[in-house]
Amino acid sequence: MRSVPDDIAISLARSLGAYIGATPAHELPGPLRRFKGFRQQTLATRHRADLLARLEHDALRRRLVDWLDDGKPSISKRDKEILRLACERPKGWRSELERHSRHKKAPPKGAEEKVVELEAQLERERAKVRKVREELKGVKESARAAAASERLVHAELMTDLQDMKKRVTAAERARTEAQAAAEKAELALERDRRKNRRAGEKAASDRDDARAELKEVRRTVRTLKTRIREVETEAQVARARRSSRTKTTPAPPGKRSRLRAPKGLFDDAPESLAAWLQTEGVRLLVDGYNVSKAEGAYGELDLESQRERVVDGVARLARKKNVQATVVFDGSEVPPRTSRKKSGPVTVEYSSAAETADDHLVALLEKWPTVPVIVVTSDRELQERAAAQGATIATSSQFMVLIR
């Protein structure tokens, strides 16, 4: 996109950041997927030009318009209007973007009122044209529908007439044939009566034999069905046992092993996380505020309530899966000298003033034994640092599905 005022560029980057944050990673277009997990402030400052360049793609602009129309984007009314102009690009859209800029020069006295009046007049004329077009369209559709209905009625009447003629002809032919058949049947009936008497005697004997055979077959079928159900039950139990055993990636001695997703599942599926938590000796390490501020989590609550909700959810999951769990929060948001506490099966730790919560979490990974560890965070940078320590990564959204 060519040069636009700085405040307009910031607005567009902010809106794109909101779209990226609100859209699941697998539904994002390829060019935007790499920005998933970035903070909006980072996108608006460091990646603004790259994001604005993506707006030259027609497919992305259409997706953004659908998002504005169908979703509930958490952006301001002004940001929505600016993003819609940049995506739909109606005639004079660049001038409209300039008009939305807060850095523009003041218009001449009286010019704005004149523009508003002209725009209102133009909109009224457009409304008249739209109304006339809709009325004309309705008349045309009514005429077409009436003509189609008449043609359909005529065709149905002709079909009924032809069908009636065929039925009359068929009835006459059937009556003649029926008379001949009745005479022939009378003769055949007597012969059949004699044959039937002989056949009845034989059928009675065959029926008795067939009933005996049928009873035997039914007993055999019941036996086979019972055995089939037993085999199916044994197979289901065997499959359940195999699927509960999560495989790990072989690692050199002294290094932590990364867990693999079960066959047929992706790493970011909630079912994969549930399977990982059944791994023997696995530990759970949670980026507290990243989970509480995830979409659909507890971001609308105060920080203390967010911490309580996250710790309670982790505790329930830890008891259910019988795993050791640790939650790390940023220590700058809690009273001084708060560093570590125990809440049931969960250890809660806070970063010190000399470190960030991310640094504290990575430090725990470095000093823990090389058992499998699942790190829960959607922060891209922290994911990379934790993965370098051999940790298995689960996203905050993936984790929220299990603790809701």
The whole-number pLDDT of residue 34 equals 86
The whole-number pLDDT of residue 230 equals 46
Among 13-17, 326-330, 332-336, the minimum mean pLDDT is found in 332-336
Q: What pLDDT digit, counting tens, does each position of 95-118 carry?
A: 888 888 876 555 555 666 776 778
CA dihedral 206, 208, 210, 212 (to 10 degrees): -150
The whole-number pLDDT of residue 365 equals 96
163 pLDDT higher than 80: yes
Q: What pLDDT digit, counting tens, does each position of 243-282 carry?
A: 444 444 444 556 888 999 999 999 999 999 999 999 999 9
396 pLDDT higher than 70: yes
Mind listing the domains of the chain with CATH numbers? 6-105 (no CATH), 270-403 (3.40.50)
Q: What pLDDT digit, counting tens, does each position of 22-34 carry?
A: 888 888 888 788 8
Stretch 81-108: mean pLDDT: 80
Inter-residue contact 291 to 310 (CB < 8 Å): yes
The whole-number pLDDT of residue 217 equals 77
The whole-number pLDDT of residue 23 equals 86
Q: What pLDDT digit, counting tens, does each position of 274-327 carry?
A: 999 999 999 999 999 999 999 999 999 999 999 999 999 999 999 999 999 999
Stretch 370-383: mean pLDDT: 96
